[in-house]
Every structure is written in C-alpha cells, then in structure tokens.
Chains A and B, each alone.
Chain A
C-alpha cells in the first residue's frame, strides 16, 4: 500500500498562498466554539501558545504536561534569540529574505510554502510577545534591539539577554494561565501521554499516565494537538532536558502517523565536554562565543601538555586553516564535524572529546573588560561547571546533540497522517529541512501555536462538525488503555539486573558513534545490528524498581528508553537509505573533494516519511517530493 502524502499546499504565488488559504478555510462560528474540545499535549512555546490562542477564541482546551508547572517545558532553556523579519534595522531584511535564508540554511530539504508562511508571520510573533510583556532587549531610545545571529547578513534576531526562550515561554505561559483562570484551559499537570485513541479513522483522545498516582486516564476531544518537542535524548547525552522524549510522538507513529526525516539531527558545536561516566546532560555555550574565540587543537597526537604550555607553532587553528573566509564562524554542522575529525585523529584535548576555544588573542587585543562585557555571564557559567577560569586557560568545548529537525509528518495545515491529530513545534518535521538556522526554533514554535493552528484547527472542526461525539466509554479507549497497561506491567515485571540509565547510555553511545556528526554505511549497518540486540537485552534484563501506584521516575524513564530504541533504529535506517549528505545528515561516502556535503537532488530532493508496520516488520518508506519554485537549488559554500 502506498500512502498519498498530500501536502495540501495551496495553489497560487507563494506570497499569496497563506492569505488565500486563510480565506478558503472554513470557520467555526464564535458561538459554536464552546461545543468543541481540543487536547494540547506539551506546554512549551508551541503548546502554550496554541492552548492560549484556542482558549481565547472560545474553544475548550485541555492541556497536558509532564511537569508540575507548564512553565518548565524545555523551550525555557533556549538562549540566543528569535528571528523576525521586521527590517527595523533598515538593512535589507524582508519576509522574502528570511524565507530564502531558511530554505537555503535547511539545505533545500524543507517545504517552500511552509517556510514562506513562517517568515510571513514572524513579525506578528514579535508584536505578540511585546504586547504580552516579554522584556525583549531595547536600545537607549526605547525601541527594540536586534542582533545578527548564526552568520545571517542582516540583524533580525530579537533577544532577551541569553534567556530568550525563558522569556518567550513565560509570556506564552502567562497567556495560557489567564485562560486557565477563565476556565477555557483546563490544566493536567504531571501527566504523560502514552497513547493516542483513534475512532473511525480520526484522533479522538489520548491515554495519559498520572505520574503521581500511576493511574491511566482516558481523555476525549474533538481534536488532538501534540507539541511534544524533539528527540535528541536518543543520544542520552544532549543539551535537552532530562524528560525530553519521543514517547508521545512514537506512540502516535505506531498508531499510523508517519515519521518524517528522523535522521536530520542538529549537533551544536559549542557545548561543555563530557567530564566522566556520571555525566547526565550537556550544557550549551552560546555560539556567539565564536565571534571572539579561536578554535584549535595541538598538532601533535596525544599531546598531554597543558594548553598554556603548547607553543603557537604546535597549535592548529583548523577552522581558520580550512575555511579562510568564514574561519571560526563556519556553520554549525561544518564546525561540529571538523571538531570530530580532530578528535578522531587523536588530537583532542588530553586525548578526549574536546577542542580548545581560546580568547587569549581577543583579550590582548580588546582587553579583558571588553570580553567580560560581551560574555561575562557565559564565562561565569563555564567556570561554575568546569572549575576553570576561561580568562586564563582556553575553554574546552565539543559538539553535542541539540535539536532534531525530523518529526511527525504534517501537511500544510500541520495535520499528521491521522486525521484530527495535529503536530506543532519541534515535534513536527515541517520547516527546517535538514538543518535549522539559529534563532528559528522559537519562531517556529510560536508561529505554529499563535498563528497557524488557530486557523487550521477551526477549518478541521468546521469540516467534521460536532454531531459525532465520542465518549471515553468507546471500546477504542479501553483498547488503547490496555495497550499502555500491558507495556507498563511488562516493564515492571522483568526485574532484571540492569538500570534503565545503563541501557540508555549504551544506546546513546551506539547512536553517537554511528548516527552522529558523520555517518557511513558500515557504521549504520553495525548500529542496525546492535540496537535490536540491546533492545532485546533491555526487555529481558532491565530493572525497574517500585510499582505503578505512585511517583516512579524509573518507570517513566523506562517507557521513554523503550521508545528510543525503536526510534534509534528508524534513524539509522533513514540515514542509511538517504544516500547523500545534506545539512545535519553527513554521509562520509557523499562529500566533495574538499570534504563538504554533497547533496543528490536527482534522487533525494524529497521528504522520507516512514510508516510503522509492526514490531517485527520493517517500516515502509513513503516520499513527498519537494518542489523548489522560488529558491534555486544551489550548493552551500563557506570557503
């Protein structure tokens, strides 16, 4: 069976598509909206903004989240900024330029129409944030400040010091809490979505586990929105928060939602390296540091000298050497991969996975106070974590998994292949192609929640009507609940000898070594043998203490890791079948003579969307061809 992946891109010129579509879509009369209920899973930027917007319109919203408070979702940790094509700086920015940069930055693997809409609403997001009280950075004249970010040639990034994600999330959260007070949004804290319920080929509810009591709850609705984030924690060590997981998305995938481009992962070049076996997560250092820091390693393999004892003549400033024009500012994927090559050559700091980021030259040129003014808080954070003073010794950095561009396949309306199941934010695949540009994740999350879903959800609900209500007594709810119950009971029954974390770390290592910054056929095939073996061992030998009647963090982790095994396998399969290099997906077999990514636009100018076929059956790949009408396919070059 081949699925028809209809992207439902509206006809007409790209500049008019969204406007035309907004007019063509059906509306729900304000008086009728209270007759509909929407479930929103996840309360990061996409989930909070969707819940508050739908509540404001008059829909009944039920918001579910794993934390005790919706404000704790991982959007809170984003540092850098949010793009908005306001052209406040009069430096040539426009909707078209933001669109163009995003398509190119995504290495021509994103859908043009979606990206254009994203750029189109980017300015409205800034307005909405300001009106909600988000304290974005300002100039002395009182107007909003912008900076250039991630190598962009225009200043279009709005920011709130290094805490832009926190401030935007609190803004969206406060909007949602206002609706909670009015009774339009009902909050369900400490609930984890463990399955989607489908009735008559339409998503009609979810099964959640109450993390405090262990109870499995059935919730029905007219439409289900998943804003459940990314899956970088498949690597165990990533910059994601500990609870970030693929579980909600994976359960939907197993019920029929296609999973698109799982191999597109972003590895951020400047993170604090691993300190030892007990490392639990990695901390990002803003890449703005690369504006003044020089990246180097020793020219000598296995050099054990201290950084300050290594003379200039023995230092290899490899990014400046290989990319003379971009130097230390080479894009994220390129910088990350080059760091990996140095470590593979045995030239990492102290033989470990780390390279130096050195401010000595900038400090002697600009003075310590100038550097401190620019990066003081980052230097403090670095010292807090490592115990080393970066004014005196070079920082040690290494790339770490940071964001996942892949996710559940959605059409232009953000609806998955399950009717009535919408997916927003990092959880969907739609806007970033094979590589996300800096300051674009926050933009996408809020675009989906504030300005896309409020329209497309209405269109869907108006189309299906509200006569066909279902209750949680429907057998489909009992069936889904039984599926979840069986999995939880199984995990608790094994009582083997190894902890959940020990398996997760081992899986993470396989993924990092074989499906990380650089991939090749041999490694991916090896991973595809190792992962199922480890998965089997997990299901035979994991030890999950306690029961399912109270708070049990180990059980929560076990469910998530079980799904990461299956996702990891799909990521490797996707990476193996994509015989080209693009953005965050670098296949060593496909590179130019200079070692740059070599796309194959003949064979792979498409979205790979995978269909789950059963536990012991290989998944089936479907493709959506990508058509570039506006932006000409070209090779990225940073030499």
Chain B
C-alpha cells in the first residue's frame, strides 16, 4: 500500500517540476542541517587532533619557529623517568578503576528494593556523580588532611598515626584514585540500576522455578541480562581512568615530585609550565594511542550492533 502511495507521490512530483529548490530539497536540507555542526566539529576536534600528531614531531616553545625533530620527542619520552612514572600511574588508575563497576553493581543490588524512603536513599547515593571533580578534589583533600582532617580523627580514635596520604609518594596515587572512585562507583550504580529495572521477568521466573538461588542465580540468570549495562559501565570506567586530570591537578599537582602524575597531567605541565609544546604533543599522542585501543574496541561493538539493528 505505501509503495503505491509513494509511487503516486513520485509521479506527482515529476509532473510538477517546481523550482530548483523543490526538486533538490530532499538532499539539500540534510546537508544544510549537518553543515554547521560538522564544520565546527572538523575545526575544533578533527583538525586539532591531526595538528597535535604533527606537532609531536617538532620542537616548539609556543611562540618562536618550529623545528623538525622527527621521532626525537618519542625517543626522549621513553627515556624520561617522569614519563614512566606517569605511565605506571595510568596503569594503576586503570586497574583500580575496575573496582567501580563491581562497587556500582553491589550498591545497585543493595538499593534495588521498593521500601519507603528508598528513592531518597538512591538520590543520595547518586550525588557524588554530579559534583565537579574539583569539588571532589577539595572535599577529599580536606578529608585526608593528616592533622585536622576527618580521616586523622578516625585514625586517632583508634590510637593510630594518620598517614599523610597526599604527601607520601607511595600512597598518593591510591589516595587520589580512591577519591575518583567515589563518583565513578555512583555512575556505574546508576547504569546497573537501569539494567536491573529492565530484567526479563520470564527469564527470572524460569530461573526461580528451576530452583536457581543465591550466587548461581545471579551469575547465570541475572548477570547475562546486565550485559548492556556492564559494557557501558566498563567503557566509561576505562575512559574515565585514562582521562584523569582534574583530581590530580587539584589535590597534588602531580606531586610530591611528580609521583602522582599521569600522562594527561604531565602533558599539561610540559605545555603550560615548560613551554615544550612538541614534547607535550608527543605525550598526548601516546595517551591518544592507548585510548584509541579502547575506543576502537567500543566502536567495533557499537557499529556492528547498529548494523544488526538496521537489517
């Protein structure tokens, strides 16, 4: 039926050629709608990315002329102990951040009940998620303060000496990651709660009829249905871990002595404080390369899901 209608519509259109605009609006309009956003996207995202790749092959102080050094910045990078520290810290961030999906799932399971006041409780659990990282950074700096902070109070209550977390090179990264996990766990919790609210009732019922309980019920019946939520939680967590910058800038500025720096922060430091734009661009390119692995993995999954949906 619709085919017949469409055919007649086409016939009407061809019978009345109309203006140039009328004949071409079918493709002109989408182009016009895409153009402003796309041009800006090219200008602010795509081209600068390529420019950074190129810049990483030069020495540049940001003002004077640029001089070609080939892969010089990269060979310097891999001999730079600060770079290796940053890279190591990025890996620590990445591994510890995997606690976020786990913690988020546990909290989601804890509050997924229909009792009085649970809505408010959920909102309060979500709250760290909407706080600015700067806010989280200040809040935790105060919490960790070794003389007056609340953690010192707790340690003293147990008769222990509170550790100076943010000035101890061995503890500092863990302290910052713990602060960063706070909103990240909340984020994952939101995702898993949405997943839990969309479980297939029939499958759950079948599982219960079959006598599945406890951990096997969770592992074989519930978790497979949370695949979409897990996938997104994992993605945002990995990207979040590699992007970490704000908390480090606020809590330690990479200190003490660069021990809490990560690639994102070291890059910023090199560009803004040392005027080494080429070197900074090389660090950014390495970070980009690491993240590209995850981005491509994510894209391949999303694009193939899209293709399935189209068919």
A binds B: no
Q: Which residues of A contact B (CB under 8 A)?
A: none
Q: Which residues of B contact A (CB under 8 A)?
A: none
